[in-house]
């Protein structure tokens, strides 16, 4: 069983911790690129 990070009850969407971390990483890369910061 996957650990749950978020549940959006209104739309019935569940986000696992793994999905949350991967999506956060992608956003950090995008914003870091704009500011000249690389990971």
**For position 4, what pLDDT does the model report?**
93
**Three-point CA angle 27, 22, 9, nearest 5°:** 90
What is the band of 2 on the pLDDT scale with cuts at 50, 70, 90?
A: confident
Structure-block tokens of residue 21:
């971390």
Q: What is the mean pLDDT of the chain?
A: 91
Residues 6+ apart with CB under 8 A from 39: 28, 29, 32
**DSSP label of 4:** E
Q: Which pLDDT does position 37 carry in this prediction?
A: 86
């Amino acid at each position: 069983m996957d650990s749950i990070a978020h549940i959006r009850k209104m739309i019935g969407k569940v986000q696992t911790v793994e999905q949350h971390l991967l999506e956060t990483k992608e956003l950090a890369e995008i914003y870091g690129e704009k500011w000249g910061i690389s990971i």
